[in-house]
Amino acid sequence: MTGLEKHSMTPHATGNPPARASRQQVETGRPKRMGGPPDFDADFRGRLRDLMIWRRDVRRFRREPLPDGALGRLLQLACLAPSVGLSQPWRFVIVDSTARRDAIKQCFKTCNAEALSDQSAERTSLYARLKLEGLDDAPCQVAVFADRSTSQGHGLGRLTMPEMIQYSAVLAVHTLWLAARAEGIGVGWLSILDPARVADILEVPPGWAFIGYFCIGYPKDECDTPALEQEGWEARRPLSEALLYR
């Protein structure tokens, strides 16, 4: 249904120029060594910057499904993210059940009503107009968790900062997000949910920390400005306001 099984059969659906990975690479996550590290030139860096500029938190999706293999390819790339102690604590839950999707939607509605009532009087009407999720249209829905109980990594880097497990899962999310954008696929991160309720709906093991619920699909629009900025909710600030020297 998600094309993950088919993925391993057709890893190169999007083309196979010389620089692309071999089938072995796709399946093991490791490249063949061919004369050392790749050269990332100024043209690539410029396009990487464009990718970062044009990556959006998407809430308006077209309903068409992703091509076979696309989600699997994105999840494989997500696993290339850094993780504390090489613990790879990210856990992906692909949500296809209509009943579970409906329950997530209900959970959002409840949490969003609370969030609306928590807003100041002067922002309530603007908040109510924002579209904050793409649950009705996104063809793919993936919940991401971080397994706090994993022994992988043997605890390295976690003793004073156990939250590194959650941070590692966030790094996987961002890796997937950028890779998706490079394929023209949009991702929307939904955090207006009750983590305990989501864990219950999806019946995940105890010890998994909820990171976010992700709507994935082709976006209706592409834009270089965040939706919340377009809609007048918030404006971006310059780097200088986020910088200290010590």
What residue type is assigned to position 131 of the chain?
A: K
Instruction: Assess contact for 231 and 165: CB atoms under 8 A.
Output: no
CB of 54 to its own copies, least distance (A): 5
Give the C-alpha separation, 71 to 7, whole Å. Answer: 8
CB of 45 to its own copies, least distance (A): 5
At 90, list the tokens: 């990210």
CB of 191 to its own copies, least distance (A): 5
In 3D, which of 73, 48, 53, 82 has the Cα closest to residue 171?
A: 82
Based on CB atoms, which residue is closest to its own copies, 21 or 137? 21
CB of 156 to its own copies, least distance (A): 7
Based on CB atoms, which residue is closest to its own copies, 27 or 64? 27
Based on CB atoms, which residue is closest to its own copies, 67 or 157? 157
Residues recorded for the chain: 246
| Cα Rg of the chain, angstroms | 19
Based on CB atoms, which residue is closest to its own copies, 50 or 136? 50
Give the C-alpha separation, 110 to 97, whole Å. Answer: 20
